Amino acid sequence: MEFRSQFDTQAFLRASKAVEHLTTKRHFTWLLAFGLPLFITGLSLFVAYSNAEEPVWARVALWPWLFFPLLSFAGIPLLTRWQLLRAVKANPRLSGEMVRIVSAEGLESRDAGTAARFEWRAIQRVVTTDEFYLFFYTKKCAYFLPRRLVSA
């Protein structure tokens, strides 16, 4: 079956987010946001109580609770989005018509100026999300097919 659509930057961003969500270790984000501040706070309080002349360390111990969650849940996602938007603007193949052909042999993808064909044995896994079918050809890279095209 052949599926055609115009390249949609917002759909690309949502598909990239879905791939990232499925491939990254979500525990790392929570560890960075809360585990590291807990460790730094404990260390800071230990230093503050062992050196009674410097009570400023008790107040300094609060900065990780503000910085690391802000970095984990706002800074990194915004930086990732900015990098993806730059990649879309810099890559001419991420514009124009997007064609995905799903057949008994495998998946074929055609964009502006490029074509790729994967046999099913080369596809590591196929994941269905609420919005996309994701065809992973490596552990962290996938072609996406919007589900709205399949249901149309």
Q: What is the pLDDT of residue 107?
A: 92
Distance from C-alpha of 40 to C-alpha of 52, rounded to nearest angstrom:
18
pLDDT per residue over 26-36, tens digit each? 666 666 677 77
Cβ atoms < 10 Å from Cβ of 29: 16
| Backbone φ, ψ for residue 30 (5° rounding) | -70, -35
Average pLDDT of the residues in 119-140 = 92
- H/E run at residue 145: strand 142-146
Residue 13 pLDDT greater than 70, yes or no: yes
And the tokens for 136?
């992973």
pLDDT per residue over 63-75, tens digit each? 677 777 777 777 8
And the tokens for 11?
């759909």
Residue 117 pLDDT greater than 80, yes or no: yes
Cβ atoms < 10 Å from Cβ of 7: 15
Confidence of residue 76 (pLDDT cuts 50, 70, 90): confident
For 73, half-sphere exposure in the C-beta direction (CA atoms, 13 angstrom radius) is 10
Q: What is the pLDDT of residue 42?
A: 76
